[in-house]
Amino acid sequence: MRPLEGITVVSLEHAIAAPFATRQLADLGARVIKVERPGKGDFARGYDERVNGLASHFVWTNRSKESVALDLKSEQGQEALRRLVARADVLVQNLAPGAVGRMGFDYDTLAKEHPGLICCDISGFGQDGPDRDRKAYDLLIQAESGFLSITGTQDQVVKAGCSIADIAAGMYAYTNILAAIIERGKTGKGRRIDVSMLEAMAEWMGFPLYYAYEGASQPPRSGAFHATIYPYGPFPTSDGEVMFGIQNEREWASFCQTVLNRPELAEDPRFSPNSARSANREELAAILAETLDHMTSDDLVRALDEARIANAKVNDMAGLWHHGQLQARDRWREVQTQAGVIAALLPPGQNDARMDPIPSPGEHTDAILAEIGLKAEA
């Protein structure tokens, strides 16, 4: 039995943050009923056609769900939603702030009849405050949260290559829902959860926030290099580059001895402790290049391994698809879609996660409406 078997989640969701949260609940065994617009459904289905004609974002965040198409502007659509919510343990929504309230599906209204219901609202800026009604997309929140100000090079800010603000909000929605389910088991009462993308990203910005404490300068943009630890980043070799990082003085001494063959550098005041290495990184980079530029990538990795210095390949997506460690740990499974079988990763920490099909738009409408005593609108 999976941990959330017997839990029913109804989700008024689109895009990424809410679907990512509810997919993880489905991974753990919850029944997730995804409410979509009649016709094309969740607009994220149309982002691209990269996975056998299906959208890459959508196949990632929507497996193991049931799709019901409801027109929430119609009386029957709202009645269907009322009946679904009456049977649900959790209601998740990432519609525009205030939208569910206008339909009578806000927590304060629902809790009067369903005191055990857990309602999770996900939005860009939260359900109140002066920015409540501002539109919020992932890249906009990356900017608003200060993430862009520390990401990129000295000359140009750079966005994250994935939907990091959506992912952050989805993770906090997921964990808060799990906590609320545990709490309800003790008290019998549900609760309202209000997750904003801005607050999720602000939490993830904790290190640079505190680094800039009381008006201090913030971490500089440093490309793929760590902003405040050095050497930590990608370093050129004679035939490529290797990513490695030195975290403490013991590792620095081992690196100087085993990789550079210059043990005297370990005690050089220009380069010890880390704050000195970081402050003098241009001078140190020139010294490192004298050795690393003449080593092959394989030779450097062997030397780093001997010195017990953490290092990594700079993989692309093809490299990740074929990563030997993921294969050795049997992390890949198959998931059915309307366009055929696709590969999918098991969620971290789970070996028996639910990996059921990705639904087509409204695929389960008739069955779900029949379950609650209604028929599909003509």
d(Cα 305, Cα 244) in Å, to the nearest integer?
A: 10
> Mean pLDDT, to the nearest integer, of 331-357?
97
Structure-block tokens of residue 58: 């959508």
Across 179-189, average pLDDT: 98
| Nearest to 61, CA basis, from 104, 27, 10 | 27
The whole-number average pLDDT for the span 221-231 is 96
For each of the domains in the chain, give its residue range(s) and CATH number, in order of start.
Answer: 8-205+328-371 (3.40.50.10540), 232-315 (3.30.1540.10)
At residue 43's C-alpha, the angle toward residues 41 and 44, to 5°, is 115
What is d(CA 49, CA 164) in angstroms, rounded to the nearest whole number? Answer: 21
Residue 1: HSE in the Cβ half-sphere, 13 Å Cα cutoff = 5
Contact 341, 334 (CB under 8 A): yes
How confident is the prediction for the chain on average, in pLDDT? Answer: 97
Q: How does DSSP classify residue 86?
A: H
Residue 202 corresponds to which tokens in the numbers above? 């602000």
DSSP code of 213? G
Question: Tens of pLDDT along 25-61?
Answer: 999 999 999 999 999 999 999 999 999 999 999 999 9
164-169 mean pLDDT? 98
Q: What is the pLDDT of residue 376?
A: 78
Give CA–CA dist 163/167, Å, rounded.
6
List the structure tokens of 26: 């489905």
The model scores a pTM over 0.85: yes
Residue 94 DSSP code: -
Span 201-220, pLDDT tens digits: 999 999 999 999 999 999 99
Tell me the pLDDT tens digit for each residue of 57-100: 999 999 999 999 999 999 999 999 999 999 999 999 999 999 99
Give me the pLDDT at residue 263, please: 97
Return all residues near 221 (Cβ < 8 A) that are at least 6 apart.
Answer: 149, 150, 151, 152, 153, 154, 157, 158, 227
Q: Where are the alpha helices (DSSP H) in 122-271?
A: 138-144, 164-187, 197-204, 206-211, 249-258
pLDDT tens per residue, range 254-275: 999 999 999 999 999 999 999 9
Residues annotated as catalytic are: 166
Cβ(255)–Cβ(307) below 8 Å: yes
pLDDT digits (tens, 9 = 90+) for 283-308: 999 999 999 999 999 999 999 999 99
CA 34 to chain centre: 19
Distance CA 45, CA 143 (A): 25
What integer is the mean pLDDT of 181-196? 98
Whether 171 contacts 162, CB under 8 Å: no
Cβ-in-10-Å burial (0-12, 13-18, 19+) of 322 comes to exposed
Are 122 and 18 spatial neighbours (Cβ–Cβ below 8 Å)?
A: yes
- The predicted pLDDT at position 378 comes to 58
Work out the average pLDDT over 348-371.
97
Q: Is the pLDDT of residue 108 over 70?
A: yes
CA distances from 173 to 20, 106, 120, 306 (A): 9, 17, 7, 43
5-32: average pLDDT: 98
Q: Angle, nearest 10°, between helix axes 297-306 and 249-258?
A: 130
**Strands of the 232-237 sheet, one edge to the other:** 232-237, 240-245, 310-312
Residue 89: CB atoms within 10 Å: 22
- The number of angstroms, rounded, from the C-alpha of 8 to the middle of its chain's C-alpha atoms is 23
Q: Supply the pLDDT for residue 301.
A: 97
